[in-house]
């Protein structure tokens, strides 16, 4: 599995996290978030995909942020429609003549109606399953991963929601389960924080080394 570290906010801390070589770094462009990113992304290794996180944002604003920060992926954490995803793909390709990775987020609590995924099958590259909570992400709680045993798609997905150093054994068990078959990446955030946006480098390093994420 790949590793995505989300909710980056502080430049010095960003450089430290980037030195651990995660596969994705997430920057939250949502003003109501305590991890709202409003500065400049420093130079980071090209192997790390810069991912912008948006919540029901105007399409032109998303495209502006992509161009300003040279984002390679976009995570849609709101109620964006399949048409929105399609328009975003089209607008980006017409300007850049290359593909933008689109990650569409769905929240899960005790159960989930997988039928809602069908309209998105051909308009996004990945799904991300997070825990349903008061906020659109960063709530710090896990959901019952067994729900994903009924996952009907072959589209790769990110697993998110309250994943931290204490879940290592649970993750190892999950990797042996049917539910993990199409799990492409783990998305971590609040459980590795000293404060919102400030990541604990030692714990991230231990987590990455223990689970031996593929490059």
Domain limits at 192? 2-211
Residues of the chain with pLDDT below 50 are 215
Say what the pLDDT of residue 97 is.
Answer: 84
State how many domains the chain has: 1
Q: What is the CATH number of the domain that holds 187?
A: 3.20.20.70
The residue written with tokens 């994903």 in the block is: 148
Could you tell me the pTM of the whole model? 0.94
Q: What is the pLDDT of residue 134?
A: 60
SS (H, E, C) the chain: CEEEECCCCCHHHHHHHHCCCCCEEEEECCCCCCCECCCCCCCCCCCCEEEEEECCCCHHHHHHHHHHHCCCEEEECCCCCHHHHHHHHHHHHHHHCCCCEEEEEEEECCCCCHHHHHHHCCCCCEEEEEECCCCCCCCCCCCCHHHHHHCCCCCCEEECCCCCHHHHHHHHHHHCCHHHCCEEEEEECHHHEEECCEECHHHHHHHHHHHCCCC
């Amino acid at each position: 599995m790949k590793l995505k570290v989300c909710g980056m906010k502080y430049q010095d801390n960003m450089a430290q996290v980037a030195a651990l070589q995660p596969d994705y770094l997430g920057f939250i462009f949502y003003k109501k978030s305590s991890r709202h990113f409003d500065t400049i992304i420093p130079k980071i290794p090209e192997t790390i995909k810069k991912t912008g996180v948006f919540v029901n944002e105007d399409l032109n604003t998303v495209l502006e942020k992509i161009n300003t920060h040279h984002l390679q992926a976009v995570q849609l954490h709101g109620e964006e429609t399949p048409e929105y995803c399609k328009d975003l793909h089209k607008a980006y390709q017409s300007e850049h003549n290359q593909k933008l990775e689109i990650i569409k987020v769905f929240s899960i609590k005790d159960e989930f109606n997988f039928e809602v995924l069908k309209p998105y099958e051909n308009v996004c590259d990945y799904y991300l399953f997070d825990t349903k909570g008061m906020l659109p992400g960063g709530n710090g709680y896990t959901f019952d991963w067994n729900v994903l045993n009924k996952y009907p798609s072959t589209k790769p997905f990110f697993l998110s929601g309250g994943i931290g150093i204490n879940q290592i054994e649970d993750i190892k068990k999950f990797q042996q389960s049917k539910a993990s078959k199409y799990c492409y990446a783990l998305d971590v955030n609040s459980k590795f924080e000293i404060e919102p946006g400030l990541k604990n480098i030692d714990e991230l390093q231990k987590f990455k080394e223990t689970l031996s994420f593929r490059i």
